[in-house]
Amino acid sequence: MAKQAAVEMKNITKRFGSKVVANKNVSLKAYRSEILSILGENGSGKTTLMNMIAGIYFPDEGQIFIDGQEAVIASPKDAFSYKVGMIHQHFKLVDVFTATENIVLGINDGKYNLKESTKKIKEICDKYGFEIDPDKKIYTMSVSEKQTVEIIKVLYRGADILILDEPTAVLTPQETSKLFDVLRRMRDDGKCIIIITHKLHEVMALSDRVSVLRKGEYVGSVNTAETSQEELTEMMVGKKVDLNINRSQPKDIVERLVVEDLSCVDRQGTTVLDKVSFTANAGEILGIAGIAGSGQRELLEAIAGLQKNIDGNIFYNDPNTGNKEDLIGKSPVEIRNLGVRLSFVPEDRLGMGLVANMDITDNMMLRSYSKGKTMFLERKPPKNLAEKIIDELDVVTPGVSTPVRRLSGGNVQKILVGREISSIPTILMAAYPVRGLDINSSYLIYNLLNEQKENGVAVIFVGEDLDVLLELCDRILVIGSGVVTGVVDARTATKEQVGLLMTKSKEEIAGDANE
Amino acid sequence: MSSISATKHHKEPLVHIVKRDEMKIWQAWLVRVAAIVLALLLVGFISMALTKEDFFTIYETMYKGAFGRLGSGSTVMLWNFLQKTAILLGLSLAVTPAFKMKFWNCGAEGQALMGGLASMICMIELGDKLSYPVLLLVILLTSILAGAIWGVIPAIFKAQYNTNETLFTLMMNYIATQIIKYYLYIEGGGSNKINPVDEGNLPIIFDNKYALNVLIVLVLTVLVYVYLNYSKQGYEITVVGESKNTARYIGINVKKVIIRTMIISGAICGIIGMLLVSGTDHSIDTNTVGGQGFTAIMVSWLGQFNPFIMILMSALVIFINLGTGKMADTCGLNSSFADIAVGIVIFFVVGCEFFIHYSVRFRHQRKEAKV
């Protein structure tokens, strides 16, 4: 007799509107004592599919079976009654509560005994090897600790089918391997673990089996031991993809931007950047690595003139005049008026780089609308630029008058990067430019950045995928809690080395300095 | 397995709501027109139930209330309708730049009152001192100035201290009303009212005292449309309204835009105040604007900030208001019936947007998977 699947999905279809088919006729199985990876590019319908097991969405067609019995899962509460728990990408925790309080929150069993709950939580921790203080408040926790709380939360409710949505996106390499150990222990305990991911090396390292989705459709499942990264990529993209980034040796290196002792205090009065010093060279890609929220955003915004309460120096060496300008404390307009051609692809594409409800032409105009002497807008040049970018970067859009919110993530990013590059910058800053993009778009962006570097632009690239940072950049600046913890040569450094620098504490750095 | 049999009773929900594709523009408009027709029918049926009149009498009365008796040849009622529509439209135009910037200007009432007060003061104090053209110019400028000042005060506080503009503009309304009361007290002697003043009245064109008002508002409609859609300042308003972060990112001075836009918003209110005082009533009291400043907010949103759609929306609101008002009058209903009717129509117009963006699916529509 064949093994009974813990979860079986049969012919699941989910549509959003009549055109968007998030999942089409997907059938797959997950077993107990197994880690199954759901692999697919962004937008391939992985999360939507899993959300239907977790009761967030309801399938339009098809059936879900849990342990061989048909299940109707219309809400997360239903999901828990089938012992299904999902850990979402965005944590849903109450900041001012402790771990225990968050874990028991919403369990309505008539008793509220925190002591007993804490004991039960400790048992779960011991069993699987979690390290957490149940009495710690959420707002004092690191991202990885918060994730642990989320996992314990579903275990506490008795889940034995666990779905994790991109659990490593926010973790350092060390934290990731810890998480993987825990997941393996849970598998050995007989649980069914499903992780959603688009990172191939994680799939290879962790899972027993892989199911691949492409554009909402089920491509196939393979045993991890019998496959390779190349084969999986081909399944994911539908064709062979060259996964190499063409990194050229930098030439004609000139110091373009010299940052000295840059400090920044945010609105709450917390120091988010503490005496950051580095140099960005023309003709080089400088990578910036660090755990999410370590000050990357503030650093780029400070250079772009968008941060208040900053201190230190930001020197710009003008290639045309040879002048040295200090950009500290200047507004974006003042920086532009100095002749500094600074382009910035911010992390928040639709909330900062672009206006979601405006069409492509009007978004092209953001940088240039004030040109011209009349009080009226000139829509012809931005329209031409929009057409040029759509043509050159293969943007998929019905036309130039389509609001950018209707474009897919990859196309939105092409529009933004295209606009920023079109001003022929001398400095190009890009924060997480491939986040949420499919493989082809990602490599297109890497190539664009490389092209800019070869044109003599000083490129600053904030990334989260260490493999990419090591492959793309020339040097990598690592920051942790707003402090520079090291600068490494990307050609020789290892992932572990960068990972260690990312988690280095302030005290350790101070210690290093004293030696 | 016991936990699973215990949950067997879960059934697929009867209805669930699904986001639909972006509708074609004509389809969306068809839905909106259908919603208005349905709303009018509902208003008609409710009126029938309340008054026991027959179906056609109801609509005939409504028509009469708005446009006058059919085929009577008299245009008095029609002009009355146009005047009311123009004033509502004008105030809607005034608040639109602010709302497009996501600045909740709930102070059109007060801003228009202050504009009207400025006109009134000029008419009384300068009426016999200045020549007619100069007087009109002074009236226009002071009204604009008064409205703009009343609008810019909350904007300055918003820009500098991030105060809540909704509360602030509402408070400014109360202050404006009290100032009018005080002015009536000192100017009107014991009667607390001002008799119509003959000096400084707007000229009469096309033999109709409302025609100039309507014309001015139409010109304003075109101007506001062009300003919002084709000027750099209008573009800045859109960007600030959609995303302050983007505005900062590209170097727009957000504070400046807030202040400038509220000056414009207040100035247009001031002009409408002038149309009400110098162009219509030739007098002023606390009820001169009559709550239209609030209805204007609704018209602006219903018109999706497009001045030309707002023409239709203000006409619709005034039509319902006058029509059902007349019905309430002739059939002895409470005069609040007009407000209820307007409420019903707006409920339908806003509610239909839901059906433009979402569709409702029923259980049986889900196909069973082939096992």
pLDDT tens digits for range A209-222: 999 988 888 888 88
Is B194 found in the same domain as B287?
Answer: yes
Of B3, B18, B250, the CB nearest to A332: B250
Mean pLDDT over A415-443 rounds to 85
Cβ count within 10 A of residue A234:
15
Of A81, A344, A356, the CB nearest to B3: A81
B370 pLDDT band (50/70/90 cuts)?
Answer: very low
Q: Which residues of A touch B231 (CB under 8 A)?
A: 375-377
Tokens, residue B240: 């600030």
Distance (Å) from the alpha carbon of B120 to chain A's nearest alpha carbon: 34
Per-residue pLDDT at A246: 79
- Residue type (1 letter), B329: D
Determine whether the interchain pair A66/B4 forms a contact, defined as Cβ–Cβ distance below 8 Å.
yes
- Residue type (1 letter), B369: A
What percent of chain A is predicted at pLDDT more than 90?
Answer: 6
Determine whether the interchain pair A375/B7 forms a contact, defined as Cβ–Cβ distance below 8 Å.
no
Distance (Å) from the alpha carbon of B321 to chain A's nearest alpha carbon: 34
What residues contact residue B170 under an 8 Å CB cut-off, 6+ apart? B106, B107
A506 pLDDT band (50/70/90 cuts)?
Answer: low
ipTM: 0.76
> ∠ CA(A269), CA(A273), CA(A278), 5° rounding?
160
Determine whether the interchain pair B242/A366 forms a contact, defined as Cβ–Cβ distance below 8 Å.
no
Determine whether the interchain pair A376/B243 forms a contact, defined as Cβ–Cβ distance below 8 Å.
no
Average pLDDT, chain B: 84
Question: Does residue B4 form part of some domain?
Answer: no
Q: Are A218 and A28 in contact (CB under 8 A)?
A: yes
Determine whether the interchain pair A69/B22 forms a contact, defined as Cβ–Cβ distance below 8 Å.
no
Report yes or no: A77 at the B interface, CB cutoff 8 Å: no
A22 pLDDT band (50/70/90 cuts)?
Answer: confident
Q: Are B154 and B168 in contact (CB under 8 A)?
A: yes
A351 pLDDT band (50/70/90 cuts)?
Answer: confident
Question: Does residue B2 form part of some domain?
Answer: no
Report yes or no: A60 at the B interface, CB cutoff 8 Å: yes
- pLDDT of residue B8 exceeding 50, the answer is no
Per-residue pLDDT at B119: 92
Report yes or no: A22 at the B interface, CB cutoff 8 Å: no
Determine whether the interchain pair B3/A367 forms a contact, defined as Cβ–Cβ distance below 8 Å.
no
Cβ count within 10 A of residue B37:
11
Q: Report domain extents, chain A.
A: 7-237, 252-341+425-441+456-515, 352-423
Of A11, A72, A346, the CB nearest to B249: A346
Q: Worst-scoring range by mean pLDDT, A426-440, B59-73, B124-138, B296-310?
A: B59-73
Sign of CA dihedral B28, B34, B37, B38: negative
Q: Which residues of B touch A16 (CB under 8 A)?
A: 18-19
Per-residue pLDDT at A505: 63
Strand segments, DSSP code E, in chain B are 15-19, 358-362
Is B20 found in the same domain as B157?
Answer: no
**Interface size between A and B, measured as CB pairs under 8 A:** 113
Per-residue pLDDT at A511: 60
Sheet holding A483-489, edge to edge: A342-345, A427-431, A458-462, A285-289, A475-480, A483-489
Q: Which residue has the higher pLDDT, B194 or B240?
A: B240
* Rounded distance between C-alpha atoms, residue A56 and residue A71, angstroms: 14
Per-residue pLDDT at B90: 94
Determine whether the interchain pair A358/B242 forms a contact, defined as Cβ–Cβ distance below 8 Å.
yes
- pLDDT of residue B228 exceeding 90, the answer is yes
Is the domain defined by A252-341+425-441+456-515 classed in CATH 3.40.190.10?
Answer: no
- A491, A495, A497, A502 alpha-carbon torsion, rounded to 10°: 120
> Which of B7, B306, B362 has the highest number of chain A CBs within 10 A, making it the mutation to test binding with A?
B7
* Rounded distance between C-alpha atoms, residue A327 and residue A303, angstroms: 7
Distance (Å) from the alpha carbon of A398 to chain B's nearest alpha carbon: 13
* Rounded distance between C-alpha atoms, residue B339 and residue B337, angstroms: 5
* Rounded distance between C-alpha atoms, residue A347 and residue B244, angstroms: 15
- pLDDT of residue B270 exceeding 90, the answer is yes
- For residue A70, the surrounding DSSP H or E stretch is strand A69-71
Per-residue pLDDT at B205: 84
If one counts the domains in chain B, the total is: 2
- pLDDT of residue B9 exceeding 50, the answer is no
DSSP conformation letters of A361-409: HHHHGGGTTT-SSSSB---HHHHHHHHHHHHHTT---S-TTSBGGGS-H
Q: Which residues of A touch B369 (CB under 8 A)?
A: 10-12, 61-63
Q: Are B150 and B215 in contact (CB under 8 A)?
A: no
Q: Are B313 and B255 in contact (CB under 8 A)?
A: no
Of B16, B369, B371, the CB nearest to A61: B369
- The number of helix segments (H) and strand segments (E) in chain B equals 14, 2
Of A18, A333, A376, the CB nearest to B251: A333
Q: Write b or e for each residue in A252-263: b if 16 or more Cβ atoms lie within 10 A of its Cβ, otherwise e.
A: eeeebbbbeebb
Question: Does residue B267 form part of some domain?
Answer: yes
Strand segments, DSSP code E, in B174-214 are none
* Touching B: A residues 292-311, CB under 8 Å: 304-306
- pLDDT of residue B224 exceeding 80, the answer is yes
Determine whether the interchain pair B235/A348 forms a contact, defined as Cβ–Cβ distance below 8 Å.
no
Mean pLDDT over A290-300 rounds to 85
B99 pLDDT band (50/70/90 cuts)?
Answer: very high
Distance (Å) from the alpha carbon of A32 to chain B's nearest alpha carbon: 15
- What is the span of the domain harbouring residue B43? 13-52+334-366
Per-residue pLDDT at A334: 87
Which one-letter DSSP state was computed for residue A109? S
What percent of chain B is predicted at pLDDT more than 90?
Answer: 35
Determine whether the interchain pair B249/A78 forms a contact, defined as Cβ–Cβ distance below 8 Å.
no
* Rounded distance between C-alpha atoms, residue B334 and residue B327, angstroms: 10
Is B360 found in the same domain as B271?
Answer: no
Is B236 found in the same domain as B180?
Answer: yes
Please identify which residue in the block is written with the tokens 């409920």: B347
**Cα separation values, A116 from A85, A105, A123, A129, Å:** 22, 14, 11, 20
* Touching B: A residues 213-252, CB under 8 Å: none
* Touching B: A residues 341-380, CB under 8 Å: 344, 346, 348, 351-358, 362, 365-367, 369-370, 375-377
Please identify which residue in the block is written with the tokens 């500290």: A328
> Which of A355, A365, A402, A407 has the highest number of chain B CBs within 10 A, making it the mutation to test binding with B?
A355
Which one-letter DSSP state was computed for residue B121? H
Determine whether the interchain pair A61/B366 forms a contact, defined as Cβ–Cβ distance below 8 Å.
yes
Q: Which residues of A touch B253 (CB under 8 A)?
A: 333
- What length is written for chain A? 515
Task: Tell how far CA A480 is from the center of its chain.
Answer: 17
A7-237 and A252-341+425-441+456-515: same fold? Answer: yes
- Residue type (1 letter), A279: T
**Cα separation values, A413 from A100, A393, A442, A473, B131, Å:** 40, 10, 10, 20, 63
* Rounded distance between C-alpha atoms, residue B342 and residue B371, angstroms: 54
Of A356, A358, A370, the CB nearest to B232: A370
**Cα separation values, B368 from A75, B12, B182, B371, Å:** 20, 12, 73, 9
Q: Are A94 and A105 in contact (CB under 8 A)?
A: yes
Distance (Å) from the alpha carbon of A144 to chain B's nearest alpha carbon: 29
Q: Which residues of A touch B18 (CB under 8 A)?
A: 15-17, 60
Distance (Å) from the alpha carbon of B325 to chain A's nearest alpha carbon: 40
Q: Are B191 and B124 in contact (CB under 8 A)?
A: no
What residues contact residue A445 under an 8 Å CB cut-off, 6+ apart? A413, A414, A417, A430, A433, A434, A437
Determine whether the interchain pair A354/B246 forms a contact, defined as Cβ–Cβ distance below 8 Å.
yes
Cβ count within 10 A of residue B161:
7
Q: Which residue of A has its CA nearest to B367?
A: A61
- pLDDT of residue A185 exceeding 80, the answer is yes
In CATH terms, A7-237 corresponds, of 3.40.50.300, 1.10.150.530, 2.40.50.140, 3.40.50.2020, to 3.40.50.300
In chain B, what is the greatest distance between 2 CA atoms, to the nearest angstrom?
96
Q: Are A292 and A286 in contact (CB under 8 A)?
A: no
Q: Which residues of A touch B356 (CB under 8 A)?
A: none
Determine whether the interchain pair B18/A62 forms a contact, defined as Cβ–Cβ distance below 8 Å.
no
Is B112 found in the same domain as B31?
Answer: no
Q: Which residues of B touch A60 (CB under 8 A)?
A: 18, 361, 366
Per-residue pLDDT at B12: 60
Per-residue pLDDT at B368: 47
